Structure 1
Amino acid sequence: MIVIGNFVHCPSLGSLEILKNYLLVTDDSGLITHFEDSRSEASLRLRGNVGPEDDILEIDDGSFFLPTFCDLHLHAPQFLYQGNGLHLPLMKWLNEYAFKAEEKMDADPVLARRVYTRLVSRLIQAGTGSVLLFGTIREETNLILAEVLQSAGIRGFVGKLSMDISSRPSYIEASTEASLGNAKSFVEKVQKSVSHLEPHRRLVEPVLTPRFVPTCTNELLNGLGELAQEKSLMIQSHLAEAHDQVKWVREERGEEDFEIFRKNSLLTTRTVQAHCTFLDVPSLSQLHVCGTSIAHCPLSNAYFSTEPFRLREALDQGVKVGLGTDIAGGYSIDIMNAMRQAVIVSRMRDGQRKDRDRPGSRSLAIDWKEFLYLATMGGAVALGLHPKSGMFQVGAPFDAQLIKLIDSGSKSGVGVLDFMDLNDARDIAEDMVEKWWCIGDDRNRISMWIQGIKIGVVSDQN
């Protein structure tokens, strides 16, 4: 595949590169083999050797390629009822909404397939190319989710919930031993389901998923830690999320959930913990030492946590951070909205600083370019994707979304940018990217590629 046009990416936190009129080439495995100015000697030589069989895409001036987004925290079955019950505190909301919905999905595979198919279609529409998902406790339901993701062509990290204690007696695994056996079985079946594919086409991966400390005994957590180490598996859970959850763990277990996870070997370089709003700076520093990543979910934090996440402090400590939508604790599946909400939260935190007028004091505000990094490169690093993922460079998989600001045919802006015209597209500059970041929507997203393959909406006719 040969692609010619403008490319935008964030190679480091706070940096934005706009590479105009570049030529990109991918090989049969979807990896980038050439990426240079289209007028370079090597690029001109490649263009001169183009044959009729070559797949060539040349985009208009008013468009650009951007790496796909990564969503580090999403509850797949909760897509069923997103936007409901957000007036409740976390633990009560789980009992009245989350557990019921997940139990309903486990009881109806037809419903599960329909909901998951719609979910994946919405993710593609939103530009999400890699997603870390919580599922349900039933193995078969999670295998449906894995199948839908693989068929759709996006990167999916699927977690079958591990729960050997629960406030809802009907939604629980039979025992600690059964829970561990179920987790191991799920891992093996997901890995087997893609084993016939070439390695670069295996887009789905199993993830060990202790829901959180209140639904897992110490014995289960210890067993999952051993399984993760034995099979080099990813781990995901919730950490220090909400006041009532933190209080419950202290009263029932007599210690912080951070310590419980750590002593059971569940804070690893392949762990992603959601929220972490109640972690102080020393704890964030310890999390960095463990190599554990954080899924920052600003919208759901606003509903269920009494504190905002200390994002600037986490970044200063070197913690790997990406963004999550947290469906359905958050009601929007769009990472664009997560980025915008996160900027607002960080600016409010900065406005409340007591030392803001002191010379040399550290700002807590995070700007849009930093969040664009977290949504792309930062998320790729947190998920442990290909080492070169998250930006356009030789050796990286071509995971890209095509963003159109101006339509060359109508000579006017696309979507909410319809007040712009072709004259604004002569030069894709930072202010145009910022404008799209602030007010653009899915009408500006024309196409998406994962590992060099163009993907689209999926069907649930199965």
Structure 2
Amino acid sequence: MLTVYRGTIVHTKSFNEFESLKQGFVAVENGKIIGVGDDYEDWLSTTKIDRTTLSEVLLTEFQFLSPGFCDGHIHAPQYAQIGLGLSVPLLDWLNKYTFPTEAKYVDQEFALGIYKSVVEATLRCGTTLASYFATNNLESTLILAREAARQGQRALIGKVCSNCNSPDFYVETTDESVKGTQSFVKAIRELNNPLVLPTITPRFALSCSKELLRELGNIAKSNDVHVQSHISENLQEIKVVKDIFKTSYAGAYDEAGLLTKKTVMAHGVHLEDDEIALLRERGTSIIHCPASNTNLNSGLCDVQRLINAGISVGLGTDVSGGNSVSILHALNRALDVSKHLDFFNKQDIFGTGPAKTPNRDYQQLSYKQAFYLATLGGAKALSLDHITGNFAVGKEFDALLVDVSILEKPHRTLTVDELVEKFIFTGDDRNITAVFVAGKCVKGSKWETN
């Protein structure tokens, strides 16, 4: 069945290109977009499609259709501890809260319960594409992959690798990590589900030996798969990495062959200029995690600096360093960070000195640019923008039906920009009344299509 959604349509074409169609349409067949625009009658005439053979869905004046959200960095097992331990720095938080929690996932029944909940929660909040860290445990990581497939979420899944600088109760040998990763890639591919892909996942350089990083780089290259990890999140962490690897944080990954066009690195708060140049050369992307960077006292990431340097950037919740699974929440926190950086640059908060020279030309992120980071920007960062991220013809229909009148009906008719702005600044998961992945409705059965 061919289904056409008619009403307000919004999406982005690039960081600075936001497209809105007040009386638009998106035509979907077999899960893929076959038409989009603002002249439905002309499209019908041109394509010679018989109107009686299709289904039309008419949006109300307070609804709009948006691309699905992309969470480029989320730790699925940490959903069990969300909201806890956010008053301590990163390395202390890992040792006191995170490692003990993740070690519990040897219990597959426990793992199934948490992973079922985190996929449900992220879908409810509009995340149609997620890049998940799991744990060191192979069997429970496969449970996460199967759960994402069962619920119909598009996902990159990573079995975490760490063979050093970790607690005795939560560490692997190099051989265990390598063989477990190889088995994991094979098992994910045997699921034969196009929505779920494997991603090589060294926890971070600090928890992996040089040998393990090289082996993981070889696996990524030989299998042509994605890579995810952390970079330059915390100043203490950066110092320890430099002491061990005798190079920059980015250099440690690059020497292992882990910086590729399919690599995403979370955070990038304190990247040096030469590191940014290296990431750009390799085609590696950054996932901005504003909530976590604030909660764990890591710092303020200057997204504009990265984008101006040619780095692809997406958004991540970084649960449970982040305290919400909602990318809409992350979008708002990204705007907050950008405003704070603007204050620092234009109100002399930096003080004096060559290392703290204000940037009078700094530009805040607009809500439309942040919307890009949450949708197409994330898909591009994850090297999946040929499949999802906006409503370009040929892409799969990953979408949200948003209704800004759910919580409180506006007192007047809103423009398209006002609909989007109101959702961004006052909305939550309750405003997302339907979620589609590859044309299938995974939330809001009333709106099911092919």
The answer, yes or no, to whether TM exceeds 0.5 is yes
Q: Is the 8 A contact 2:62 2:419 kept in 1?
A: no
Secondary structure at the counterpart of residue 158 of structure 2:
strand
Number of residues of Structure 1 aligned to a counterpart in Structure 2: 436
- 2:321 pairs with 1:323: no
- 2:36 pairs with 1:35: yes
Separation in 2, partners of 1:404, 1:259: 46
Report matched runs for 1:360-371 at 5 Å: 361-371=360-370
Secondary structure at the counterpart of residue 187 of structure 1:
helix
Q: Is the 8 A contact 1:89 1:244 kept in 2?
A: no
Report matched runs for 1:8-407 at 5 Å: 8-28=10-30, 30-43=31-44, 49-51=50-52, 54-106=54-106, 108-173=107-172, 175-194=173-192, 202-353=194-345, 361-387=360-386, 389-405=388-404
Per-residue deviation, residues 90-115 of structure 1 (Å, max 9, x unmatched): 11111111111111122x11111111
- 2:440 pairs with 1:453: yes
Secondary structure at the counterpart of residue 393 of structure 2:
coil
Q: Is the 8 A contact 2:269 2:302 kept in 1?
A: yes
CA distance 1:298–1:386, shift in 2 (3 Å): closer
List gaps (5 residues or longer) in structure 2.
350-356, 446-450
Separation in 1, partners of 2:312, 2:347: 26
Code of the aligned partner of 2:104: K
Report matched runs for 1:413-424 at 5 Å: 413-415=405-407, 417-418=408-409, 420-421=410-411, 423-424=412-413
Code of the aligned partner of 2:121: R
Code of the aligned partner of 1:431: E
Code of the aligned partner of 1:80: A
Code of the aligned partner of 2:431: N
CA distance 1:236–1:323, shift in 2 (3 Å): same
Secondary structure at the counterpart of residue 424 of structure 1:
coil
Compute the displacement of 1:169 (Å).
0.2
Separation in 1, partners of 2:24, 2:191: 38
Separation in 2, partners of 1:110, 1:456: 25
CA distance 1:98–1:392, shift in 2 (3 Å): same
Separation in 1, partners of 2:248, 2:46: 61
Separation in 2, partners of 1:23, 1:51: 17
Per-residue deviation, residues 148-169 of structure 1 (Å, max 9, x unmatched): 0011111110000111114310
CA distance 1:355–1:318, shift in 2 (3 Å): farther
CA distance 1:101–1:109, shift in 2 (3 Å): same
Separation in 1, partners of 2:226, 2:9: 31
Code of the aligned partner of 1:445: I
Separation in 2, partners of 1:303, 1:39: 47
Compute the displacement of 1:146 (Å).
0.2
Code of the aligned partner of 2:22: K
Separation in 2, partners of 1:394, 1:268: 28
Compute the displacement of 1:361 (Å).
4.4
Per-residue deviation, residues 175-194 of structure 1 (Å, max 9, x unmatched): 21221111000000010012
Residue 353 of structure 2 is matched in structure 1 by none
Residue 6 of structure 2 is matched in structure 1 by 4
CA distance 1:360–1:236, shift in 2 (3 Å): closer
Per-residue deviation, residues 33-76 of structure 1 (Å, max 9, x unmatched): 12232443233576971336x44322212211000000010000
Moved over 4 A (4+): 44-48, 354-361
Per-residue deviation, residues 216-235 of structure 1 (Å, max 9, x unmatched): 00000001111111111111
Compute the displacement of 1:25 (Å).
1.8
Q: Is the 8 A contact 1:8 1:64 kept in 2?
A: yes
Separation in 1, partners of 2:113, 2:183: 24
Secondary structure at the counterpart of residue 17 of structure 2:
coil
Compute the displacement of 1:344 (Å).
1.1
Identity of matched residues, %: 32
Separation in 2, partners of 1:20, 1:366: 24
Q: Is the 8 A contact 2:141 2:159 kept in 1?
A: yes
CA distance 1:183–1:388, shift in 2 (3 Å): closer
Separation in 2, partners of 1:128, 1:298: 17
Q: Is the 8 A contact 2:291 2:322 kept in 1?
A: yes
Deviates more, 1:249-258 or 1:137-146: 249-258
Q: Is the 8 A contact 2:10 2:21 kept in 1?
A: yes
CA distance 1:271–1:360, shift in 2 (3 Å): closer
Secondary structure at the counterpart of residue 179 of structure 1:
helix
TM-score by length of 1: 0.90
Separation in 2, partners of 1:298, 1:351: 17
Q: Is the 8 A contact 1:281 1:314 kept in 2?
A: no
CA distance 1:57–1:377, shift in 2 (3 Å): same
CA distance 1:20–1:46, shift in 2 (3 Å): farther
Q: Is the 8 A contact 2:67 2:398 kept in 1?
A: yes
Residue 410 of structure 1 is matched in structure 2 by none
Code of the aligned partner of 2:432: R
